[in-house]
Structure 1
């Protein structure tokens, strides 16, 4: 039986996040996130055609995943809730029970010692046939469902909307950025009106592929960070002559004056011989700039690795090389073979604090 009276303040868990002079702080110390991205809660149980990777992650979900992440060197986890399942006005896919399961999972992660980055996703893979490119009224309604449980714990970071924009090939115009700022500012105002004091995070445009040109957002608490997902889609971005400029334009230049987190990243879209070298360059780039990473994907349930942590979850961790030292090849359709990806290299970095000299 608890000795606390009914009027006692709630317990403050470790992993509290604040922003001080544009610097992310965790429990009062400078914070460079090292975490994983979990997909188990993207899809509604009411959906008819849930992609295999989501269904497998959901079927195998257990709160023990969070203590396993801690053992793997993580201090944080990014979790997404589908906008369709979290919006009470979506009569087809909304599930209050599933929202409560999601809230319970976030609390389990917090109890395991992790900071949690919560994001709302609206894409075709959550059964929205007309997904919105920017947060909208439905996004605000989802956040309103979550705020009573999340607003008093600064160990929960609110990533307002996953991968804004019209696609990774988008070249944002000034008007695009104005529309982005208006939608993000409205969502910030909405969560603040619900009483949230948490740090909020805004994804860049081009599905978070770039922050170049992004205007500063407005928040009465001055607690806005920004997110990038700098996936590579061709060999050009990974060439040694181009890799710095690619990362500078994606997020590096912007990060000189703004707090930035890579809330999702893997090597699944382009598979080629430059992957191992670019992986090590990318990790060193992040470390030199003090930018954190949420590694994709902790619980990937697909038959191929999607360049992430493991495949056919909860089975095999992915790596770049066979035991004999030869590079695992790309498959004939251009996607990675089941074993290939940056997972083991990044896990080694998390666990030891040292980036390997070469990919593992």
Structure 2
């Protein structure tokens, strides 16, 4: 498991400074050389604690702030597939490479069974081993001045209906909705872990798609918010209100994201069905790819603009399977014009034509697709 570079013990550093001072006094060392040799880079400013104010995210001083960056996939699948916790390095250098793109946010997908340590997961990658690794990555992201978003990506529950990702009851694929058996407990644990770190953002569920199971869209939105027994889904569902309640019942005031239906691509019923947040710190999450139904400016104007006018809008995943960036260029332009947030999928060295991948190396070398996001982020006046 990758770890940050080891720091020299405090006593060792103190002795080194004293020894250097003696050499300077004796004329055996140049003060300028001593002042730069081995000097640690300047620490990045910590990420802001964010709050939803109208349709904007604001920091503690009330200044508007957008979440702009990347997804770092791996924590949702490596553990359940039995070969690790992350896919590729998550050490200090690899996180710095993300910051070098002028990203200010990293979204970290999670697996609820690995976090909770259920007995189907290899203990090396579950329970405290998993949670400690996630906490380390969250801290590393913050050490580089970026906001971490932790989100539930894969969850428990057997679903074999329309558009099923797998027939496995375990958290080995995307399910249409969270489940009442484990997901509230997952969010109680995650929120308890990060409630004293309010700069961490909590994203309730990756890509709900109850609309593929229910006979009507209205039933899908009711299932999305209220959970319970949903048509076409065989397990008891935990709705967005259940999950938000689990978070707030811990005392956590962190910003929370709630994604819409149709794999987070449909926000048409979000305002009408938004869960009630006693902390008043809720934003709408949206995903868009070139192959989604709502992938045109006319759809965004009709469906997204009303949401973005009322609450903060965070495009938690943007991407395309063309290994180019023409589509996300248009997405970013639209989101910029509405002062919304967005994150590219994904900071992994995959084949960018079969699954959108931003990089070909963890040193930050972009794919042709990733170059579009990188150059756009670097050009923003933020």
The alpha carbon displacement at 1:233 in A equals: 1.3
> For the structure 1 residues 233 and 172, does the alpha-carbon distance in structure 2 shift closer, same or farther, using more than 3 Å as the test?
farther
Tell whether the 8 Å contact from 1:34 to 1:350 is kept in structure 2 after alignment: yes
Deviation per CA, 1:44-97, whole angstroms, max 9, x where unpaired?
A: 53534x6xxxx7962433233222222210111111111221124x21124321
Structure 2 residue 180 is matched with structure 1 residue 134: no
Q: Which runs of 5+ in 1 are unaligned?
A: 2-11, 320-340, 355-360
Q: Which runs of 5+ in 2 are unaligned?
A: 1-9, 11-44, 156-164, 227-238
For residue 116 of structure 1, what is the aligned residue in structure 2? 148
RMSD after superposition: 3.1
Tell whether the 8 Å contact from 2:69 to 2:105 is kept in structure 1 after alignment: yes
Partner of 2:109, secondary structure, is: strand
Tell whether the 8 Å contact from 1:228 to 1:250 is kept in structure 2 after alignment: no
> For the structure 1 residues 75 and 173, does the alpha-carbon distance in structure 2 shift closer, same or farther, using more than 3 Å as the test?
same
Structure 2 residue 204 is matched with structure 1 residue 160: yes
> For the structure 1 residues 188 and 56, does the alpha-carbon distance in structure 2 shift closer, same or farther, using more than 3 Å as the test?
closer
The alpha carbon displacement at 1:36 in A equals: 0.8
Tell whether the 8 Å contact from 1:266 to 1:307 is kept in structure 2 after alignment: yes
Pick the aligned partner of 1:77 from 106, 129, 136. 106
Per the normalisation by structure 1, the TM-score is: 0.76
Per the normalisation by structure 2, the TM-score is: 0.72
The alpha carbon displacement at 1:14 in A equals: 3.4
Tell whether the 8 Å contact from 1:164 to 1:207 is kept in structure 2 after alignment: yes
User: For residues 328 and 173 of structure 2, what CA distance do their matches in structure 1 show?
Assistant: 34
For residue 92 of structure 2, what is the aligned residue in structure 1? 63
User: For residues 326 and 69 of structure 2, what CA distance do their matches in structure 1 show?
Assistant: 22
User: For residues 348 and 69 of structure 1, what CA distance do their matches in structure 2 show?
Assistant: 13
User: For residues 147 and 60 of structure 1, what CA distance do their matches in structure 2 show?
Assistant: 26
If you compute each CA radius of gyration, which structure gives the higher value, 1 or 2? 2
How many pairs align? 308
Pick the aligned partner of 2:251 from 195, 214, 220. 195
> For the structure 1 residues 108 and 259, does the alpha-carbon distance in structure 2 shift closer, same or farther, using more than 3 Å as the test?
same
Q: What does residue range 292-331 of structure 1 map to in structure 2 within 5 Å?
A: 292-302=341-351, 304=353, 306-311=355-360, 313=362, 316-319=365-368
For residue 267 of structure 1, what is the aligned residue in structure 2? 320
Pick the aligned partner of 2:79 from 35, 45, 55. 45
